[in-house]
């Protein structure tokens, strides 16, 4: 069955970006002039996703407003003959059919996925973390969807990280399967470098079969009473094949201030409207720093 739907968990508090996230969702922080979550929805649309469910929390109406029409703004832009800006604004609400559901309690990523079951139904679906950006030139989601179409099983995105950083991720023990794909034998949440079975880390792109919902129901809460998605994936992998797609491209965790800066610089340097002047300034900045 073709994957038509994506779920974007966006209810996190964004504590690493306080005070900026005190009154706005972390996924609405702009990468230059585009909110991070819009970049994720654009990626979903490029992958052929037609229906997006965003899981929100309290105080996150800004997300809904962003993907809604703003007729007053559109009329203003039209009256001022700002037709390029008008086109960009209208495209936001036309990318996909966007729906919302509230996660009433902060009970972890696994719980956020579980509240999407009524919307997803008995279909395979994608999960895309709202603060995990894949460079627009990288067709990661499309490659994962093709792997799902071929084998009919869940596919998790993964990439190699340093041994020191593996404690920040879900860590995969796997066996080779085919080019770019491995079969998951087990997966554990944020192991110490000494306990980690590999340096293959889960990143924020998933394609799930609907059996993940049953695995989530059978997953017991872990630390802080949260239902870990990693534990549910591990349970599913003991019962049926679950694959990991080894990603080697460009990815930014924009929930992390340093990666947020890297994404802003790299994507800004590549833009036709900003890139030439920005790259020239960067070169001057680097030269000036060498002289200090």
- Give all domains of the chain, ordered by start, each with its CATH number: 5-255 (3.90.550.10), 256-292 (no CATH)
- Residue 65: how many CB atoms within 10 A of its CB? 11
Q: Is the pLDDT of residue 288 over 90?
A: no
Which pTM does this prediction carry? 0.93
- Could you give the residue ranges of the DSSP H alpha helices within the chain? 36-46, 61-67, 71-79, 83-94, 109-114, 117-120, 140-151, 211-217, 229-237, 257-270, 275-291
What is residue 290's predicted lDDT score, i.e. its pLDDT? 76
**If pLDDT is split at 50, 70 and 90, which confidence band does 292 have?**
low
Give residue for tokens 């179409």: 149
* Beta bridge partner(s), residue 182: 176, 244
What average pLDDT score do residues 108-115 get?
Answer: 94
Determine the Cα–Cα distance for residues 125 and 51; give it in Å rounded to an integer. Answer: 10
Q: Is the pLDDT of residue 224 over 90?
A: no
Q: How far is CA 127 from CA 132, 147, 148, 206, in A?
A: 11, 15, 13, 5
Determine the Cα–Cα distance for residues 206 and 148; give it in Å rounded to an integer. Answer: 10
Peptide bond into 254 cis (omega under 30): no
Summarize pLDDT for 130-176 with one digit per residue, the tens.
999 999 999 999 999 999 999 999 999 999 999 889 999 999 999 99
Determine the Cα–Cα distance for residues 126 and 208; give it in Å rounded to an integer. Answer: 6
């Amino acid at each position: 069955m073709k994957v038509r739907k994506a779920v974007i968990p966006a209810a996190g508090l964004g504590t690493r970006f306080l005070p900026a996230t005190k009154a706005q969702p972390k996924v609405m922080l702009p990468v230059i002039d585009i909110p991070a979550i819009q970049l994720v929805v654009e990626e979903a649309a490029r992958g052929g996703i037609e229906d997006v469910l965003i899981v929100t929390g309290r105080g996150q109406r800004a997300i809904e407003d962003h993907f809604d029409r703003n007729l007053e703004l559109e009329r203003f832009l039209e009256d001022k003959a700002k037709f390029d800006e008008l086109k960009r604004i209208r495209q936001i609400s036309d990318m996909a059919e966007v729906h919302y559901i509230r996660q009433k309690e902060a009970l972890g990523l696994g719980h956020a996925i579980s509240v999407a079951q009524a919307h997803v139904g008995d279909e395979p679906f994608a999960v895309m973390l709202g603060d995990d950006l894949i460079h627009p030139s990288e067709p990661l989601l499309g490659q994962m969807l093709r792997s799902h179409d071929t084998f009919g099983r869940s596919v998790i995105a993964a990439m190699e990280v340093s041994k020191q950083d593996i404690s920040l991720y879900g860590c995969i023990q796997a066996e080779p399967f085919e080019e770019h794909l491995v079969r998951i034998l087990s997966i554990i949440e944020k192991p110490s470098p000494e306990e980690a079975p590999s340096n293959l880390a889960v990143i924020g792109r998933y394609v799930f079969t609907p059996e993940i919902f049953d695995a989530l129901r059978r997953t017991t809460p872990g630390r802080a009473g949260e239902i870990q998605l990693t534990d549910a994936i591990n349970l599913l992998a003991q019962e049926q094949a679950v694959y990991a797609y080894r990603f080697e491209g460009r990815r930014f965790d924009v929930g992390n201030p340093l990666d947020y800066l890297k994404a802003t610089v790299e994507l800004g340097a590549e833009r036709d409207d900003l890139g030439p002047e920005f790259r020239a300034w960067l070169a001057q900045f680097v030269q000036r720093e060498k002289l200090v």
